[in-house]
Structure formats: structure tokens, C-alpha cells
A and B are shown apart, each in its own frame.
Chain A
Amino acid sequence: MSTSYTQPPSHDEDSQFKMAADNLPTEFDVVILGTGLAESVIAAACSRVGQRVLHIDRRNYYAGNWASFTFNGLLAWIEDYKQEQPRDADSDGSWREKLEEGEEPLLLGALGTAISNLQVFRYASEEPEEEEVATPVATPTPEGPSTSVEEPLAQSQSAATEETDTGSEAPPTTDTQSEATPTEESESQSQDTPLESQTHEDPEQQVQREEPQEDQTTSNEGDSAPSEPTPPVETKKRKITYSKILKEGRRFNIDLVSKLLYSRGSLVDLLIKSNVSRYAEFKNVSRILTYRNGKVEQVPCSRADVFGSKQLTVVEKRMLMKFLTFCLDYEQHPEEYLDFTERSFWEFLQTKKLTENLQHFILHSIAMVKPGARTGDGLRATQHFLRSLGRYGNTPFLFPLYGMGEIPQCFCRMCAVFGGIYCLRHSVQCLVLDKESGRCKAVIDTCGQRISCSHFVVEEGYIREEQRRNVTYRQISRAVLITDRSLLPSESEQQVSLVTVPPQDGGPTVLVVELCSSSMTCMPGTHLVHLTCPSSGTAQEDLAPLVSRLFTEAPSAEEEEDKEEEGEVDSEKPTLLWAMYFNMRDSSAVDRSSYSLPSNVYPCPGPDPALGTDHAITLAEAVFQQLLPDEEFCPPAPNPEDIVYDGEGRQGEGAGFGEPVQPEREPEGESEGKEEQKAESEQDTEGAQMSVAVESPPPAPPAEE
């Protein structure tokens, strides 16, 4: 039992001891298992209105499938995934003796079934930086399966018609694997070993059912690895090696889920309303790009963009402005679209005197709807986009610094501030149901302790097969790439871009988010690229063709020489340094009634494939309303500035750490709002591009009309 209960590497025996000694309280109003976005928002909302909340997660990190990891943390996560074994539950049977007369158990299931088809590819060269000039050996390096990786990738060839000169879409087969020899002694053990032993997953099969057992020792060494010898950093050499990525691993914050916040979406509204926004900082998504005719180009969406656009003719600018202005309050002009309510948005667009160019932009990058979407949906989506535009910046989107994984944690902090109790690495064996009412009256935790509660909220993934027989899932396909430069280089390297890739060859629309290092999600000199789409096959089948069209792999030594000789270096595309593909289960469309659960047990589905977070927030609010129909959802937390205490004067205590000071006390109480002002005026100093705090009207028709 104790082996399957994952202990984090950083926890030594002392702390485990301590944990066991300090038992959880035994009475709560709400017990919440899982720390994903919806669960965390519910936790904060309940705690905020005075409910006693216990919030736990079996994992050793926050945010569940919404988590973000440092690079090394991600490698450990990958290892965990591979070592996950089939288990029924976190149950040692100790719950039996806790049941009383008239009660029956409802066991919870094992966690971790949400991820499948995980594939990792390492392209960055292996050698330490000093030897960089020397020819790299045997790259690209597939981390991949010892069997038939190239099969799905080969399919990509058919799609990738243009310029697939290298044939490098198909990573070399296993024979190159032996190359995974350590390049730096200290890393060899902790990093290379696990990666080498990657196994291939069949799409249909659930991972943990078939994973061979692996050597336990490899899993958690990332954290305990001795500090590696650090070669002197030489900025002249721009090339990023794999060891460099490992060494700078903590600068990465790699999200499992790639999402953005609509500036006027439900999450931003909630963050502001609840004051949870004080725990996070955001960056504007600075560009919206699209992929069209084999080229990445910028989508003009704000008024300034449209005017400044070089790719649009004056006529086009006028047409676009006119149309967008109409969309902003399309409800006022029913005559414009009523005839099309039963027809597709695409058809509607064709009647609006828009060039093909513009139709493409509007459909795929602004409305971001499927070509078959109804006119009403397309108009609504366009309006949502336009309304969010200009609230904080030139695009409608915000991205949280350090990644999306921060957001659930911010809500957890809020819950804790209002008294919620937090315990990671802890789970529930079973629920205790009252036979008569069928309601859940308590849970029995993994320490065999009985904890009473009135409501139980649970991440969907903990629910056992028996309770979700009627549930059918969809899948999300994800790819995470580390690259060496932006898809569309510009004067500033520090761009956060959303790239919408319209359906290619009948495939789904792929959303690509490219993050720069100042978003605190990747090391300087790299970009972190997230690809997301609803699955039709494995993540690799769905996304690898596009990846090979947008990026090149780090050339092998011979290829590099060849190219140099021919003077042909593919400088157009960014180079892949590392890539990961996986599928995540999408339970977002599952109706609550599909689960056979007591009425006071609330399942929370995982992330959906959409770009925004509305689904989780709407769900959280709905669950909260069911739990506490008469309470307000996340009222503002008091401002700490309001509870500043102005104490009696006292004298300072002398010297600093080496330097004498003359401290004086300052009267308080007039500081409200100053921070905001400061934040705002700081924006001003950044010039127009950053003047985010201004509520500017969405695009208006051009003056020349």
C-alpha cells in the first residue's frame, strides 16, 4: 500500500512522521477531493461564506490535470505516469471497521486514468555547452517507444505536402536510442534513465493497465539530484542543449492544459469580484496569428491592428471594420442576419462582401468556430471576442504569469485564508452512505480516519467504473514543444501569441499558444508552445503533422554539414528542442445524471478543449448554487489595506544586517488604491502598447468612411 501512495521526493521521513502525528479534524461541512480549477473555485467559494472546508488531493502537487510543472517536475510526472499501476482504490480495507449500522460504503477509484498515449521526443543535442562547437552526435533523439513510432508520423507525410525535404518527421527508430548516453555525470542517473525507457501506448488502452513495472528508484530523483557542474554560461552561443534545459528546468512552468483568459470572460470577472486576482499576475496575449497557405501571419483584430496592417488593402480594412462594428451589437440589427439563423456562419460571411482573406480571419481567428457553426453562434463568438478586446490590451486574452496552473492555486489560497484545511498526498478510500437516505454522510480517508461532511465534491477521475457506466468520454490531443524561436519573429522576442490553425484535410482546428520567457513559463532563449485540439486519434496522430509543418527538428550532425555545404539553412522555421504528446480525457460534456452517485456528491469534470475557462467556472458556480443556494458566490475578500492596524509608537531596534538604520514609524490608513494607481501608472510608462488599464472602445469604423 505504501508504495502506491505516492510520496513526493522532497519529503523525508521526518515530515511523514509529522504528518501521521497531526491528524485531520474529523468534522467538515464540505470535503473536496481534487484541486483542479472547478474544485478549487468551489472550495474558495464555500470557505468564503463560512463553510468548513477540507480540500485534499492524492497527488503531491496542486491543480490535478490543470497543473503546471517545472521541466524536471514534468519529467517526474512522466515517470509517474509510466509507473502508475492498476489499483482499485486507495483502500486498505480499514474502512470496514469504521462503518456503523445502517451505513454502506461507496468506494472511490484509482486516480490517473485521464492521460494516455504519452510520447516524449528529445531533439536538443546532448553535449555539454563547452563542446558545443564539436559536431553533435546522433540527433534528433527520439525518446520514444521502442516500437513503431514512425507509424503515426508517417501518416503525417500525406498531410505535410510542402517542403518535407528532410523526412525528419519520422524520428529515427530505436537504433539511435543507445545514444542516450549521459553527457553529464550527475544527470545521467536522474534524467536519462527514465526517459530511455519510454514505452509506446496504444490509443485505446488505458495506460496504467498495461504499464510494465519499472524500477522504482528512477522516479523521484529529479529533486534529489546533486547540483550539476555548471559550465560557464556563454551568451555568444545561442544553441540550447538538453543539459541546459535540464539545468534551467525550474524556469519552465509547463501547463498540462493550455488555456487563455478572455478579458471579459467569467474567470476574469470572478478573479476581480473575489479579489483572488491579487494572487496572480497576468500578461497580455500580444498577438493573434493564423496559419494559412503554409505561412504564419498576424491577424488584425484591434482597431490599431487593422489600421496598421500591411496585408490588408484599404478596401479590406474598411470592410473588416464595418463588419466587426456590426458584430459588436449585432442584436440591434436582426435584419442583417435573421435569414441566416438556420444556416452556417460561413455562408453568412460569404454574403457580407468580405474577401476570402477576411472571411478566413473572422471565421478561424476571431469567432474561432467550426466552419459548420450556425450564424448565431458565430456572431456571439465574434462579439465575445470583440468585447474582450481592448480591456487590457490589443488582444482579448490574458495569460497568467507562471502558467495556468497558478489559477487553481490562487483559489486554494483564498480558501485557506478563510479557514479551509489543505492536505496534498491524501485521499479518500470510500464514502459512507446512509442506507436510508442514500446520502453521503462521511468519508473515510487514506489513514482510515472517518471524517463527517454534508457535501462531497470530487474530481471526476476518482469515481469508479461502477458509478460511471453510462459515461462516454471524448479526448483532447495535446502537444507541448520547446522551441528556439518564435513562429513569427518580430522586433520583440517577448510575445505571447495565439495561433489558430484552421482545419487541414478534415482535421480539427488546432489552437496553438506560443509563450515567451517573460511569461515565466520557459527559459530565456526558448519558447514554449502548446497545441490543443479535440482528438480524432492519438495526440501524435492529430498534431505531429502540423508540428512538422510549423517547426524543424534540430538537424543531425551530418545534415548540418550538408546544409552548410549547400548554403541551405532552414531559417524560416523554429527548431524543436523537445516535444511531448499526450491525450487527456475530456469529461466536460458528461452530464451529471450519467453518474450514479448520491445527491450530495458532486463530480467535477476535467478540462475541456476550448480556449477559455468558462466551462469550469460555470460548473463551479452551478455546484456551489446546489450546495448553498442562499449564499453569494465568491463575494469580495476584505482588502488587507483596510485592516491595517496603527499601533503605538515604539523605538527601532538598531542595526541592520551590517548597516545601521534609523527606522521610524509611518502613519497608516491613506494607502488604499495606491497600489492600483501605481500599477496603472507603471503601465503608462510602457507606452501605448501596455496601457492596459484603459477601457477603450472596441474597434470603431475607420475615420475615412
Chain B
Amino acid sequence: MNAWSNEREIIINPGISPVFVRMSMEDYDHLFKIVLIGNAGVGKTCLVRRFTQGLFPPGQGATIGVDFMIKTVEINGEKVKLQIWDTAGQERFRSITQSYYRSANALILTYDITCEDSFRCLPEWLREIEQYANSKVVTVLVGNKIDLTERREVLRERAEEFAEAQSMLYLETSAKESDNVEKLFLDLACKLIREAKQNSLVNSVSSPMPGEGKTISYLNCCS
């Protein structure tokens, strides 16, 4: 194994907010880590697959060996690389590692509109987010499976109300029909870009708080 290439595989955090760090060689302007959470079976993996691969795999279990999916999109002329992380099945018995939440820029909290139970578990997920995620993380609530309207158990209004009370964005999607999936990720990307720019603006005025904000070295880069 090449010693030189190895050296780069440990990510060293320089400990300050990487403000206005723009690389000359990169192929993107922004890189964001997006993390999906929610009960098992609500369609998290399907959302990711639909968005990154344009596929809907019916009845497909977790993909073995796939850690996260990547998709680069262009928004208003800026290249945005989205790194989308799935739970790897650890949500099935409520055993997600805390480290999964670390350094996420955005969380997509997903429930199944045809499953009341998956909606009722949301507060519990929010508690996890509060505990382990960055306090400035952007959270979107997603009601998936709107193609199954006849089996809907959670009214849209209810979810909207809940999302608003928790100051989350809300969107209903169908991974199967590809409804709103693209919109979900692209809107999120827009929001993240805006926040990143705001952050860097703030940071350039006052000195950055160490360990504060989205400072994770390689994930954040603002132009």
C-alpha cells in the first residue's frame, strides 16, 4: 500500500472554522453531509436510491457494503456535492450510533404516511437529534409513500403542524413515483448553501467559536 496515499485518509480537524477555504483542484463548490433517520421501513433507502440512482427497488433490503451515496448537483451555477448517509439498519432496534449524527449538515427525518406508528416515534427521534447532532443542523421532516393515499393514516395537516412546532421543514414524497424526491434534496441543498454563506459572513466578522457550528473540516467549504 502506498504510504503517501494513506497519509490522507485520516481526517485531521484543524480546529478552526474553515472559512472561505476554496480549493483550486476540487470539482465542487460545496460538500454537505445529509443523514437520514426514521423508523425502519419508512422508505429511507428508497429515497436515497431514487435520488442518487433514479431507481426504485421494491422490497429491497439494506444494501450491503454501501456506506453513503454521493450525488453532485448544480444549483445556480454552483456545484454541490451531497453525501447522503443511510442508517445501515441500525434503526431497526433503535441502536443508531451517536457518531452517525456527528458532523451532519442536514437531517432528513422520515416517516411513513400510511403508518401512524412511524409518526408517533418522531419525538423520540428528535430527542436523539437534540442530543447528538450539531445544534445548527437543518432538519427536514418527510412523509413518504404518498403514492399509497388510500392507506394514509397521518393527515398532512397534522404533520405540518408538528413540523412547524419543531421548526422543521416539511415535505411529502413518494420514492416510488419519484414525487418530490428531487425537490427534497435540491431544496435542502439550497438551504444549506444559504446557511453556509451566512455562516461564513458571520464568521468573517466575529472570530469563529472553536468547535462551534459546521466547522468540520472537510465537509464545509464556502465560496
Contacts and interface: CB of A to CB of B under 8 A. Distances in A.
Interface string B189-223: 01100100000000000000111100011100100
- What bracket does the count of chain B residues touching chain A fall in? 35 or more
A413 B35 CA distance: 14
Interface in B106-120: 117, 120
B14 to A, nearest CB: 4
Contacts of B167: none
A685 interface: yes
A445 to B, nearest CB: 12
B71 to A, nearest CB: 8
B166 interface: no
B81 interface: yes
Contacts of B73: 663-666
Given A18-B117, A656-B191, A524 B94 contact: no
B81 to A, nearest CB: 7
Nearest to A492: B15
Given A637-B65, A663-B182, A693 B72 contact: no
Contacts of B69: 640, 644-645
Interface string B1-33: 101111111111111101001011111100100
A679 B218 contact: yes
B31 A70 contact: no
B94 A11 contact: yes
B95 interface: yes
Given A645-B53, A656-B191, A391 B7 contact: yes
Contacts of B127: 10, 223
Given A424-B95, A640-B70, A682-B18, A282 B124 contact: no
A410 interface: yes
A666 to B, nearest CB: 4
Contacts, number: 265
A670 B190 contact: no
Contacts of B79: 666
Contacts of A216: none
B124 A12 contact: yes
Given A282-B11, A666-B74, A678 B23 contact: yes
Interface string A410-446: 1011001111011111100000000000000000000
Contacts of A675: 31, 218
Given A278-B67, A409-B97, A671-B81, A677 B186 contact: no
Given A671-B81, A675-B218, A693-B7, A416 B89 contact: yes
B174 interface: no
Interface in A77-114: none
B123 to A, nearest CB: 8
Nearest to A675: B218
Given A281-B217, A690-B14, A695 B182 contact: no
A519 B212 CA distance: 11
Interface in B167-187: 169, 180, 182-183, 186-187
Contacts of A281: 11-13, 103, 216-217
A517 B210 contact: yes
A417 B187 contact: no
Interface stretch (A202-210, A361-369, A398-406): A398-406
Interface string A659-677: 1011111101011001111
- Sorted nearest first, the 6 A-B pairs with minimum C-beta distance are A647-B54, A656-B190, A416-B88, A676-B8, A518-B210, A409-B97
Given A24-B93, A653-B186, A676-B9, 11 more contacts: A12-B124, A62-B97, A283-B12, A422-B93, A494-B210, A648-B54, A653-B183, A666-B72, A682-B14, A682-B217, A685-B18
24 contacts: A10-B127, A10-B131, A12-B123, A15-B94, A62-B97, A278-B67, A401-B102, A406-B99, A409-B97, A416-B89, A422-B93, A647-B53, A652-B186, A656-B187, A657-B188, A665-B73, A666-B79, A671-B72, A674-B25, A674-B27, A679-B217, A683-B14, A686-B16, A695-B4
